[in-house]
Amino acid sequence: MNISVIVATFEGCNPTQINDPRFFEQLLEESSKAGNFTVLHTYIHQFEPQGVTGTAVLAESHIALHSWPENGTLFVDLATCSGAEATQTAFDRMCELIEHQQVIPHTISCAARTQPYSTLMPETNEINKHAPC
């Protein structure tokens, strides 16, 4: 089984947007739909005085989101066994919906437990800052 993972930090986000639980619902729903994923359960929690965490448990794996509106930052963790194309399509939909200035993505593709961890997680992982997607 191959797992495709995208982990990204969105910076320069609209603080109002990423502090809205309804936006998290929309983001989870529309990105899951774009990737053709099966949503088993969603959970969204709003923190006081600010910040939202949201997760979607998928038949294919998961989507996790966490915001820091005071910093304009949204963290995304998207993992699926549907292949890199479906995972990227879901991530692209997130990029369309999230108002941001830049995104720092990290894509990981690995075969689950068929290789030693040293080959799955290289010792050096360069971070590339990209313009908005």
Domain locations in the chain as residue ranges: 2-120
Nearest residue to 73 (alpha-carbon basis) of 100, 105, 95: 100
Q: How large is the average pLDDT for residues 122-129?
A: 42
Catalytic residue among 4, 61, 67, 82: 61
Catalytic residue among 81, 95, 110, 133: 81
Model-level pTM?
A: 0.80
4 a catalytic residue: no
The CATH code of domain 2-120 reads 3.60.90.10
Q: How far apart are CA 58 and CA 38, in angstroms?
A: 5
Catalytic residue among 4, 13, 31, 66: 66
67 a catalytic residue: no
**pLDDT digits 0-9 by tens, 50-91:** 999 999 999 999 999 999 999 999 999 999 999 999 999 999
Contact 67, 19 (CB under 8 A): yes
81 a catalytic residue: yes
Q: Which of helix, strand or coil describes residue 119? A: helix
